[in-house]
Structure 1
Amino acid sequence: MLNADNVLAQKLSYFTRLSPDETAAVDQAADGLTRALPAKRDLIREGDPPHAVFLITAGWACRYKTLADGRRQIVAFLLPGDLCDVNNHVLRAMDHAIGALTPIQYVEIGHDRLSTLAQGSSRIGQALWWRMLVNVAVQREWTLNNGQRSALERIGHLFCELYYRLRCVGLTSGTGYAFPLTQNDLAEATGLTPVHVNRTLQEMRATGLIVLKERMLDIPDLELLEDTVLFNPDYLHLQEEGRRVLPERSDARIGR
């Protein structure tokens, strides 16, 4: 589990270099009661009034929409370090649900507390805007994935994205990371059937693009997978002034 007291500052530092005072202010804002939620339970449901912003500190969650007949579309994965819907205070009711895919731990940050944090420092305020705009950019990329890319490209692109996002908070090992998603989860996120997902994963394994075993995903050759699925990490906007050291290949691509 990530430390809730510093994970938000760590995430925002990819946009700007926070001063010690700003880091302390962010840490204080995220210093709340850590709550737990079992897998397959909703953190908040569509139609519920938003009462706080959730900071995920452990486990994987998702944003999703459902049809009247129960069919579900996952529209975003929420990983440790992610803030869920920074500006949801402007809404009377949620237009989507947030559910736990695994057991999760999270902190609730009150709207007033987050607003005070943003108003107290222009750099923190801009960094929070950056996080929100990155979320929108990811959504655009997912729309492109499901509208234009092949099954292999959709799944491989998602694997690359998850690698970069998890790496931002120190949850990768080399080019591998814990991978708790089921084939049904992948199907609901990529617009494919579970059978098609299974067939695609077998193809990726057979060609050496991935090693998926015991809920661990490893990408033996990140450059090869990125080229195969036409992945460009620019939409994650990790090229800002506060960026950390990324793999040499990725630095070159981000800066192009």
Structure 2
Amino acid sequence: MTAAAPALAGLVRRLESIGPLTAAEREAVADLPAAIRTLPPRCPIVREGERPGQCCVVLQGWLCRSNVLGSGKRQIHSLHIAGDMPDLQSLHLPVMDHNLDTLTPALVAAIPHEALRELLASYPGVAAVLWRGTLIDAAMVRQWMVCLGRRAALEHTGHLLCEMYLRQQAAGLAAGFRCPLPITQSDLGDALGLSTVHVNRVLQSLRAMGLITLQNGTLRIHDWERLVALSEFDPTYLHREDAPV
């Protein structure tokens, strides 16, 4: 195995949460060549309009994909945690149509496109799992569109908290209805389409209802069933092989 193999264990785990891999496929993924980088928060990884030659794997920390308007307003349209490969589409869409940035201090691995193409040609099972992963990403985008367009702020926020808990649980980063949520209220606002003041009011309301507490970058969900009911959260769109909470 290469030196990157232990670092890519999170990617292997993420892929296996999407679909089955053989031992040979797991080893091939773990052996991908990767340049490991430590990045500060709010660091650009790929900018809109660029032509990257590699894909990024999140090893630690949180990343986001976003677009920024001429006014400077930002819309975050996905959040990414350890094990995610948020710019896989650059393998087939050469020009980036959005930005990829860190939200927190992060450790990332850059895998050359050529190495990924060789992997997919040699291991069709890995290609199938990655394809299924892109379909799940599209399903999450659809849910975010519904939330942005039709859900009230309280339900929308609750829905996002439920999603991030289950995604982190699948990645081995959350348990017991407790998970990291290390991003700022400003970042949450950019994901929810709300002002920072409105985000603060919604979080206070969820806390007053006895549903959550958010302190020092850690989210605790005190009543999962009520939060799910309030948010009309149905985890079907995450297409997890194992049962949700």
TM-score (norm 2): 0.94
1:116, distance to aligned residue in structure 2 (A): 1.7
Q: 1:21 aligns with which of 21, 24, 28?
A: 24
Unaligned stretches of 5+ in structure 2?
1-5
1:101, distance to aligned residue in structure 2 (A): 0.6
Q: 1:221 aligns with which of 214, 223, 236?
A: 223
Is the CA contact 1:118–1:128 (under 8 Å) kept in the aligned structure 2? Answer: no
Distance (Å, rounded) in 2 between the aligned partners of 1:28 and 1:236: 27
Distance (Å, rounded) in 2 between the aligned partners of 1:217 and 1:86: 29
Distance (Å, rounded) in 2 between the aligned partners of 1:200 and 1:46: 32
Please give the secondary structure, in 2, of the residue aligned with 1:83.
coil
Q: 1:125 aligns with which of 124, 127, 146?
A: 127
Q: Name the counterpart of 2:55.
A: 53
Aligned residues: 241
Question: 1:1-256, aligned counterparts within 5 Å?
Answer: 3-29=6-32, 31-238=33-240, 243-244=241-242, 246-247=243-244, 250=245
Distance (Å, rounded) in 2 between the aligned partners of 1:50 and 1:153: 37
Superimposed CA distance per residue, residues 31-84 of structure 1 (whole angstroms, 9 cap, x where no aligned partner): 523111111110111111121110000000100101112111111111111002
TM-score (norm 1): 0.90
Superimposed CA distance per residue, residues 193-238 of structure 1 (whole angstroms, 9 cap, x where no aligned partner): 1111111111000011101112110111212211111000111111
Unaligned stretches of 5+ in structure 1?
251-256
Distance (Å, rounded) in 2 between the aligned partners of 1:92 and 1:171: 32
Distance (Å, rounded) in 2 between the aligned partners of 1:72 and 1:173: 31
Residue identity opposite 1:201 in structure 2: L
Q: Identity over the aligned pairs, expressed in percent? A: 38
Distance (Å, rounded) in 1 between the aligned partners of 2:215 and 2:232: 24
Please give the secondary structure, in 2, of the residue aligned with 1:4.
coil
Distance (Å, rounded) in 2 between the aligned partners of 1:115 and 1:42: 25
Please give the secondary structure, in 1, of the residue aligned with 2:31.
helix
Distance (Å, rounded) in 2 between the aligned partners of 1:119 and 1:9: 18
Q: Name the counterpart of 1:253.
A: none
Distance (Å, rounded) in 2 between the aligned partners of 1:213 and 1:11: 27
Please give the secondary structure, in 2, of the residue aligned with 1:75.
strand
Runs of 4+ in 1 over 6 A off after TM superposition: none
Q: What is the root-mean-square deviation in Å for CA atoms of aligned residues?
A: 1.5
Distance (Å, rounded) in 1 between the aligned partners of 2:101 and 2:52: 14
